[in-house]
Amino acid sequence: MDPAPSGTTPGPSRIRRDPLRPPDMVRMGTDGTRGSLLSLLRAAGRNALANYLHFAVTTVVTLVASPLLVQYLGPVAFGLWRALQRIMDFGTVADGRATQALKWLVARGVEAGDDHAQRQAVGSALIVWALFLPLSLLVCGGLVWALPHLIAGVPPELAAPLRWAAVLLALNLLLIPLLGAPDAVLVGTNQGHVSVLLRAGLFAASNAVMLVAAWRGHGLPVLAAIVLASSLLFALLIWRQARRRVPWFGVARPTRPQVRGFFGFSGGVVLWSVVVKLLLASDLLLIGFRLGAGAVTDYVFTAYAAQVAISLAFMTGSASMPGVGRLVGGGDAARIAAAAAGVRDLTLFLAVLLCAGALLFNRPFVALWVGGEHHLGGLFEFLIVLEALQLILIRSEAQLQDLGLRIGRRVGIGVVATVLALLLGDLAWRLVGEVWAIPAGVIAGRLLMSLRFPRLAAAVVGPALRGQWLRTLAGVALVGACGLAAEWLYAGAAPLRPATLLALPVFAGVVAVAWFGLLGAASRRRLLGLLPWRRRPTENGHA
């Protein structure tokens, strides 16, 4: 972050010259006026609570809806639906990411109080969306055309419904940037909890409608139409909320420098968004391409716990970054390095616990959830979890490097490593012929990011200490030990036998080892200081 010098207030002219500069997180209020730090923290708390609530709702809904959709649609159609959603999601990479730029610019404009400039920012986002629309049409059309070549073994009777569903999802993706402008305005004015709660409610409602539709015998096109209808309803509701909560909300003709600023921001973000999507979907894409929709269904259930671990770690890591960003803006190298070390410690500790829990409890969970026949085996599960651990650590280093607001080199390395991961994953499957070879190849291809991203982050927050590298290797070894323990616990027996209970003391041992072995003394003190009964007043009476 690069906050304004103390005692100064950036004026409108400065904002126009640097429209994408992050907001001063100390002075910005939540209602379009200057606010105190306390009001900012309260708004941040509401946003964080809304995010966790959204995660809880989506998790519960997915747990309930997925096995029912498998039952109503059939394993093949369900696998096609999940693969289709992941594939079509790549259509968003060509929309210019104008709403991302809009969030930054609106947040910065709150300090200046220039309502006309804020409406111009909305106009810039809409112009950039319109300019990128032909490219989005081309990409989405290409994905629809290439579907039969991207998913193996599509039954002839499902080929036409699959294409119609893809067309509807493509239309949804084309409209998202246009419909998302009010959402970006709410987020930029620090009221993102409103849109998050709306999304959570509509996600639950739309999935309920999907279940009814599938139960009545409707297929993939109807499910896609429900997704589109949900997006349109969200757009209507969020537009009304923006009009009610943001007095200046509207559109004005922007200046050419503003539009150029959006374009300058969009290039790197678009490429990095491609990398992130491939990071999250590499295995599913390769499995769908080589093994077909039925294997995708089994992958979705086997990898669900690992995906939850990734989501929780990402959410927690993101919450730690604003504080480090303020230190980066202040330029105190020692405090920046100490804060970055704490973030790395916390990320590794949380990632190891989540991945260990996934290995120790996922097999009985899958058996209870949808049936053990949908589990792809212990070796595949271990590699998927190890891949999740690698991805969490890569993303943490990328977020630390984000604080320097320079992502060009990272994008280049990410593109190379992602392509390499896909190639090695496919090559490994062709050489071995087993499904576990795919994540093994993907992990090998991503090693380039694992090695290079900490060096890029070091330019912003300082290098990782030797002890932190050793703790990272120890964390990988601890997750590997949990994989062996899971094989021993569940080998040759039903997953729901009493051996599942033995996983509880094993996990407790992992927590103890991770607490004393992976966290530095300073990180342990900070975490203990968060406990209410551990807080002590300072000399001025504040905790």
pLDDT in tens, 227-273: 999 989 988 898 888 888 888 888 788 777 777 766 666 666 677 77
pLDDT in tens, 151-180: 877 888 888 898 999 999 989 888 877 777
Q: How far apart are CA 78 and CA 176, in angstroms?
A: 24
Mean residue pLDDT of the chain comes to 78
Contact 151, 80 (CB under 8 A): yes
Cβ density class 103-125: b for 16+ within 10 Å, e for less = bbbbbbbbbbebbebbbbbbbbb
Integer angstrom CA distances of residue 212 from 103, 206, 207, 233: 36, 10, 9, 19
**Token pair recorded at residue 219:** 């297929």
Contact 352, 478 (CB under 8 A): yes
CB atoms within 10 A of CB 457: 25
Integer angstrom CA distances of residue 536 from 42, 526, 532: 22, 13, 9
Q: Mean pLDDT over residues 477-500, rounded?
A: 78
Q: Could you give the 3-state DSSP secondary structure of residue 34?
A: strand
Residue 342 CA, chain-centre distance (Å), reads 21
pLDDT attached to residue 307? 87
Q: How far apart are CA 340 and CA 56, in angstroms?
A: 28
Residue 41: pLDDT band by 50, 70, 90 thresholds? very low
- pTM metric for this prediction: 0.68
CB atoms within 10 A of CB 96: 27
Residue 38: pLDDT band by 50, 70, 90 thresholds? very low
- The pair phi, psi for residue 294, each rounded to 5°, is -60, -40
Q: How far apart are CA 41 and CA 114, in angstroms?
A: 24
pLDDT attached to residue 29? 39
Sign of torsion over alpha carbons 479, 480, 483, 489:
negative
Contact 30, 189 (CB under 8 A): yes
Asked whether residue 226 carries a pLDDT value surpassing 90, the answer given is yes
Asked whether residue 206 carries a pLDDT value surpassing 50, the answer given is yes
Q: Could you give the 3-state DSSP secondary structure of residue 28?
A: strand
Q: How far apart are CA 287 and CA 276, in angstroms?
A: 18
pLDDT attached to residue 541? 43
